[in-house]
Amino acid sequence: MNNQQTEKEKQAKERELKKLRSLANTKEEPATTLDEMKIIKDINYQLMEALFAYESLDERDQQITPYLIEETKNNMTRCKSDYDQNDTSSLLLSSEAFFAKLFNSNEINVINYVVSELTFNKEAQKQHMYVKVKYVKDTGQWQAKSFNFSKYVEG
């Protein structure tokens, strides 16, 4: 019985060792470097500036263009409102960014808490919102693929 038990333990250890070797041989995506995180942080800050600090919507559209992938630019152009928004401006009051967990080295989500002052038809309104931006690295540089805006109402 002692011999059988020893043989079972030996087989269990061999299975565990085989599993560990298999895990060690799998290739993982390289983690985003600290330098790349700094680049994403800078790009994200510049994008929030472009989205929330402008004198006209045309100016905003020109400012955000370098930060967006082509598909996202086209979607934003198609979704423009029909009514006149020439008298619209915005001032960025504050912005905080929180990086979400990385799933691979070519994609990252950043959650932004933004406070801005939107002026429309000479009426200013302070806004608090969360902006989730999905960044991708398709062309060798980080660009925004999608946005998700959620207005935050203070209670």
Tally of domains in the chain: 1
Is residue 109 a part of any domain in this protein? yes
What's the CATH number where 109 sits?
A: 3.10.450.50
What is the rounded average pLDDT of the residues 104-121? 90
Is residue 17 a part of any domain in this protein? no
Is residue 19 a part of any domain in this protein? no
Is residue 75 a part of any domain in this protein? yes
pLDDT for residue 90 is more than 80 = yes
State the SS3 of 9-22.
HHHHHHHHHHHHHH
Q: Confirm whether pTM is higher than 0.75.
A: no
Is residue 80 a part of any domain in this protein? yes
The alpha carbon torsion through 67, 71, 73, 78 (nearest 10 deg) reads -160
Is residue 7 a part of any domain in this protein? no
The predicted-structure confidence for 115-125, as pLDDT tens digits, reads as follows 999 998 889 99
Is residue 2 a part of any domain in this protein? no
pLDDT at 73: 80
Read off the pLDDT band of 71 (50, 70, 90).
Answer: confident
| Enclosing domain of residue 57 | 32-152
Is residue 37 a part of any domain in this protein? yes
